[in-house]
Chain A
Amino acid sequence: MNRISRITLILALILTSCMKWEYGLEEEFDISASGEGLFICNEGNFQYGNATLSYYDPETKTVQNEVFYRANAMKLGDVCQSMIIRDGIGWVVVNNSHVVFAIDINTFKEVGRITNLTSPRYIHFISDEKAYITQIWDNRIFIVNPKRYEITGYIDIPNMTMESGSTEQMVQYGKYVYVNCWSYQNRILKIDSETDQVVDELVVGIQPTSLVMDCNNKLWTVTDGGYEGSPYGHEAPSLYRINIDDDKFEIEKQFKFDFGDWPSEVQLNGTKDKIYWLNDDVWEMDVTADRVPVRPFLPYDNTLYYGLTVCPRTGDVYIADAIDYVQQGMVYRYSKDRELIDSFYVGIIPGAFCWK
């Protein structure tokens, strides 16, 4: 090869070899042999489409990251918001991708998807053939048929505009589904799942962020109180215990926080007799308590707690640290005796958990 040919070849390589938008490779997973397991929804950065799903085996203390991508050779999407499991199928809600993926929880392979949602946040099953999907920036809850992956209808939310629409987490008691309304809202809705109509609502404080039901069939929600300068208002946040027995729908107890506090992520243990939440520190309280404990379950330790869950079997507490929101977050696992058992890196902005 003469000199000119060599130079031409080198030039051609430099000028043409360029970045490749890679295809993924499908990996085979089978975690059916493992007992309990924890899925971690990593939101990723808004508008960058780098949400991921992680899977942690508490028995072996091993974590597998990006399992959706690795199993399916495609991306999960933009802002992974939440996940639930029903009959061996995981339903992963990806907010800004307008999609809910259904995956086999042992192989992580996709089995179907519900698309064209407005901005989905959470999914709740009424039956095998009917589920609700809440939305932000929409004043409707979508009714879907999970078997056909179809949108079948809508629940119109009264006194809510599209632009400030926000429905969030759902809890069912009998035929009624309760939903907290968060962004620029202050209500818990009561929906009749037979008629798909909002039948009642309860005003709580500004922006209730989460909703659970304890062993005594009491609802718990915590408000964030809005923010400084908000035309909707800014107040001290509160934790609420809500009585829904005997067709009642009323605040039973309000636990007020200091003005400027940012409580979030109300969770229950497996027996549903203790609630947990984040407020800089991690807090734990009996569901029958009359006041918030003086000391936290885990004090703030320069860690930016972003997500929280409690193992339903062991009571271990898992806390997600989003760090600077542009690197892999860390999940810390503590025993119910506050001993650090394990810590592991997951994806960007770990925000929600789901127990297998």
Chain B
Amino acid sequence: MKRLLLILLLFAPLVTIAQDDTRNWATRGIRVGEVAVYGNRPMKDIGIQETKFDTIALKENIALSMADVLTFNSAIFVKNYGRATLSTVAFRGTSPSHTQVSWNGMKINNPMLGMTDFSMIPSYFIDDASLLHGTSSVNETGGGLGGAVKLSTKPAQANGFGLQYIQGIGSFKTFDEFLRLTYGNDHWQVSTRAVYSSSPNDFKYRNHDKKMNIYDEEMNIIDQYYPIERNRSGAYKDLHILQEIYYNTGKGDRIGLNAWYINSNRELAMLTVDHGDETDFDNRQREQTFRSVVSWDHLRDGWKMGAKAGYIYTWMAYDYKRDLGNGVMAHMTRSRSRINTFYGQVDGEYSINDKWLFTANISLHQHIVESEDKNIIRQDGNKAIVGYKKGRPELSTSLSAKWRPIDRLGLSVVIREEMFGKEWTPIIPAFFIDGVISKRGNIVAKASVSRNYRFPTLNDLYFLPGGNPDLRKESGWTYDTGLSFAVGRENIYSLSGSANWFESFIKDWIIWLPTTKGFFSPENIKDVHAYGVELKADLNLQLAKEWRLGLNGTFSWTPSINEGEPRTPADKSVGKQLPYVPELSSTVTGRLTWRKWSFLYKWCYYSERYTMSSNDISLTGKLPSYFMSNISLERVFNMKWVDLSLKGTVNNLFNEEYLSVLSRPMPGINFEVFIGITPKFKTK
């Protein structure tokens, strides 16, 4: 029976336990700690639905991006266009631009596109990551109609000098390198991290979408076959450098500097249905981004305040060239964009007693965007650039009051207001409540409701051609309710889980559609009703002396239904699931450790995604359900002068031929080995 219970838990969802330790989990092992007791829950968390990722998930291996972490550790949908290619995430059946993403408090959604490419965020650069589902995002920011992703870094807690170097070598000539240098004492914490990843990424796959012809001399087809092709034009080289400096006065003040530089050069892989010769085309995206935040935190008894200032510079280039037949590569498309974002934020918390907490926050992001999409020759013969230059301030301010009248009950009200450009949102209210139903089992019930708005992106408004300055902001109501529990015995087991129901109504959903003029243009066309269930569970077991097992699981059922008016009399999309949004998704992660060995099994599942708004399934538009399994095995060696780790991973364990998005090839089984070296320096 115990075994059966264990198996069932594989399919139940998981909650991860936040860990401060920045070493990887194999080095540190799985903790079977005490169960969090309701009364110890922070006031700030009253009623919120949050999924936290621990270092086990974030520091699994250096080749992972946050897209990979979210794919295998949460039930939010990660739309992956290929290996080392654009990956966007969407909560609860919403679109990627409905997910607000912050890094150390600063919003990093691209102001032109609204979304964030999670394949460009190495998970080794993130020390703290959490998802705020639905209404809970209003605590942090506006515009998260689906939710918010909070990413941040933390001081290394080093004592003296530290160094960590990891080298990964994998299939398709993939090389991943990670270096971290740290220095710390009672006041200073300094850390430098660098990740460099490169690969020709030319994995082999059998192309089911295309056949090759064999002709006779008269050019009659005498045979056809599905070719085994390589992923064409998919190479990448990504460099990330992160510098952090913290100074702690030891008297309640901390000053921090975080600076993150990205230099990415990625080819855009050819579609499975492309009959061009890869040597004749160069399709490439380059990006250089610099993000920096300076922060000051001031803590005193009963109150604290903080201030942040930041700056983001992004340069993006897209070049699509072809060989003219003489070796000269001529531009078919040459687009450039430059984004400057200035950021400032002040926040404060004041606690009258242990029953009341008040918070206030104001943040400003000033974007200045320059987009150059095409070079043309005007009618008068002069050159011109199709593009736009625009600036927009985005102000967001919030006040909240949190009240815990009795130990078992918590109430929270948040009032937020935002201004984008010159336009203000109406007051955005959010209300949260939670209460302990049973202290035995720490069973807590939660409920929340919020209004929310999302403004059109700068491309939505101004992109040439097609930008629509008459767009209205999207608006929505979201309701959440759920139960959570946590039980366990220290050093024997811990089990926690939650089940939530949510409901969202989004009006004026913005979608880009083709026009009869040959370009796309956005419109407010859809009203969407998204609802469903999110389940999470986490189990940690001390199986025997030196044997530990950790199991995590998530499950989501997220119908996302178009409830707008029929667009034309023939429209069959009303009442149907939105295209490319899976109704079901699930993840399971199992970790087993024995002495210095550790084994990890990761599994994820997405149900069939419709490719048509009418939910018709055609032969050419089929994306059946998607299962994926990855494993890794690690051994740690602790020596006098150095800690060594050796890890092997296998991705796509069952060598499945599959597609995540139509016409985007995915790799079959592939391998990578990692060697980690952490010298032991003398500490004070």
On A, residues with C-beta under 8 Å from B are 3-4, 7, 11, 14-24, 44, 46-52, 65-66, 69-70, 72-78, 94, 96-99, 110-113, 115-119, 137-138, 147-149, 154, 159-164, 182-184, 186, 206, 209, 224, 227, 229-233, 262, 264-265, 278, 301-306, 321-330, 343, 345, 347-349
Instruction: Report Cα–Cα, A49/B641, bound state, in Å.
Output: 56
- Chain B 213-249, CB-CB to A under 8 Å as 1, else 0, gives 1010001110010100000000000000000000000
Known contacts A24-B619, A74-B211, A232-B384; decide if A18 and B516 are in contact (CB<8 Å).
no
B275 contacts A116, CB within 8 Å? Answer: yes
A137 CB contacts on chain B under 8 angstroms: 320, 332-333
B516 CB contacts on chain A under 8 angstroms: 224, 262, 264-265, 278, 305-306
A15 CB contacts on chain B under 8 angstroms: 603, 627, 629, 654
A78 → chain B, closest Cβ, in Å?
5
A347 CB contacts on chain B under 8 angstroms: 618
A-B contact pairs, 30 of them (CB 8 A): A7-B3, A15-B629, A17-B627, A20-B624, A22-B622, A23-B226, A24-B619, A48-B661, A49-B209, A49-B271, A69-B619, A75-B272, A77-B274, A94-B275, A97-B274, A97-B276, A113-B275, A116-B275, A137-B320, A138-B322, A149-B219, A229-B465, A232-B376, A323-B568, A323-B572, A325-B514, A328-B616, A328-B618, A343-B570, A348-B621
Instruction: Report Cα–Cα, A51/B611, bound state, in Å.
Output: 12
B330 CB contacts on chain A under 8 angstroms: 162
Instruction: Report Cα–Cα, A147/B220, bound state, in Å.
Output: 10
Interface size counted on chain B using CB atoms at 8 A: 90
Instruction: Report Cα–Cα, A146/B3, bound state, in Å.
Output: 67
A265 CB contacts on chain B under 8 angstroms: 516
A263 → chain B, closest Cβ, in Å?
9
B332 contacts A7, CB within 8 Å? Answer: no
B274 CB contacts on chain A under 8 angstroms: 77-78, 96-98
B656 contacts A19, CB within 8 Å? Answer: yes
Residue B273 contacts which of A4, A49, A321, A348 (CB distance < 8 angstroms)?
Answer: A49
A231 contacts B385, CB within 8 Å? Answer: yes
B626 contacts A345, CB within 8 Å? Answer: no
- Chain B 646-684, CB-CB to A under 8 Å as 1, else 0, gives 000000001011110111000000000000000000000
A324 CB contacts on chain B under 8 angstroms: 513, 525, 567, 571, 573, 613
B375 contacts A230, CB within 8 Å? Answer: no
CB closest chain-B residue, reference A347: B618
Instruction: Report Cα–Cα, A328/B613, bound state, in Å.
Output: 9
B579 contacts A20, CB within 8 Å? Answer: no
On B, residues with C-beta under 8 Å from A are 3-4, 7, 10, 208-211, 213, 215, 219-221, 224, 226, 271-277, 280, 320, 322, 324-325, 330-334, 374-379, 381, 384-386, 388, 464-467, 513-519, 525, 567-573, 579, 603, 608, 611-614, 616, 618-629, 654, 656-659, 661-663
A301 → chain B, closest Cβ, in Å?
7
Residue B221 contacts which of A16, A99, A110 (CB distance < 8 angstroms)?
Answer: A110
A97 contacts B273, CB within 8 Å? Answer: yes
B4 contacts A230, CB within 8 Å? Answer: no
Identify the interface centre among A44, A48, A76, A183: most chain B CB within 10 Å of its CB. A48
Instruction: Report Cα–Cα, A161/B658, bound state, in Å.
Output: 40
B320 CB contacts on chain A under 8 angstroms: 137
A112 contacts B215, CB within 8 Å? Answer: yes
CB closest chain-B residue, reference A7: B7
Instruction: Report Cα–Cα, A164/B628, bound state, in Å.
Output: 43
B513 CB contacts on chain A under 8 angstroms: 324-325
A176 → chain B, closest Cβ, in Å?
25
A52 contacts B618, CB within 8 Å? Answer: yes
B228 → chain A, closest Cβ, in Å?
13
14 additional A-B pairs beyond A70-B619, A76-B620, A98-B274, beta carbons within 8 Å, are: A19-B656, A49-B662, A74-B226, A78-B273, A97-B275, A112-B213, A112-B215, A182-B518, A186-B379, A224-B517, A232-B379, A265-B516, A322-B514, A326-B612
Instruction: Report Cα–Cα, A343/B623, bound state, in Å.
Output: 28
Identify the interface centre among B10, B375, B662: most chain A CB within 10 Å of its CB. B662
A283 → chain B, closest Cβ, in Å?
14
| A interface, over-half SS | loop
A27 → chain B, closest Cβ, in Å?
10
Instruction: Report Cα–Cα, A11/B378, bound state, in Å.
Output: 64
CB closest chain-A residue, reference B579: A326
Residue B627 contacts which of A19, A52, A159 (CB distance < 8 angstroms)?
Answer: A19
B464 CB contacts on chain A under 8 angstroms: 227, 229-230
Instruction: Report Cα–Cα, A125/B571, bound state, in Å.
Output: 38
Residue A327 contacts which of B4, B220, B384, B571 (CB distance < 8 angstroms)?
Answer: B571
B226 CB contacts on chain A under 8 angstroms: 23, 74
Instruction: Report Cα–Cα, A49/B274, bound state, in Å.
Output: 9
CB closest chain-B residue, reference A345: B570
A52 CB contacts on chain B under 8 angstroms: 618, 620
B10 CB contacts on chain A under 8 angstroms: 11
B211 CB contacts on chain A under 8 angstroms: 72-74, 110
Q: Which 9 A-B pairs have the closest CB atoms?
A: A49-B663, A18-B627, A231-B384, A99-B275, A98-B276, A330-B570, A137-B332, A327-B614, A49-B273
B331 contacts A163, CB within 8 Å? Answer: yes
Instruction: Report Cα–Cα, A208/B328, bound state, in Å.
Output: 30
A147 CB contacts on chain B under 8 angstroms: 219
Known contacts A65-B618, A66-B618, A97-B271; decide if A163 and B209 are in contact (CB<8 Å).
no
Instruction: Report Cα–Cα, A81/B561, bound state, in Å.
Output: 32
Instruction: Report Cα–Cα, A265/B280, bound state, in Å.
Output: 33
A119 CB contacts on chain B under 8 angstroms: 332
A348 CB contacts on chain B under 8 angstroms: 612, 621
A48 contacts B663, CB within 8 Å? Answer: yes
B625 contacts A18, CB within 8 Å? Answer: yes
A161 contacts B377, CB within 8 Å? Answer: yes
A262 CB contacts on chain B under 8 angstroms: 515-517
A305 CB contacts on chain B under 8 angstroms: 516
B657 contacts A20, CB within 8 Å? Answer: yes
B277 contacts A116, CB within 8 Å? Answer: yes
Residue B376 contacts which of A72, A163, A323 (CB distance < 8 angstroms)?
Answer: A163
Residue A113 contacts which of B213, B333, B334, B386 (CB distance < 8 angstroms)?
Answer: B213
Known contacts A15-B603, A113-B275, A328-B616; decide if A163 and B569 are in contact (CB<8 Å).
no
A191 → chain B, closest Cβ, in Å?
20
Residue A48 contacts which of B215, B569, B611, B627 (CB distance < 8 angstroms)?
Answer: B611
A113 CB contacts on chain B under 8 angstroms: 213, 275
Residue B271 contacts which of A78, A278, A325 (CB distance < 8 angstroms)?
Answer: A78
A75 contacts B210, CB within 8 Å? Answer: yes
Residue B333 contacts which of A111, A163, A186, A233 (CB distance < 8 angstroms)?
Answer: A163
B621 CB contacts on chain A under 8 angstroms: 48, 50, 348
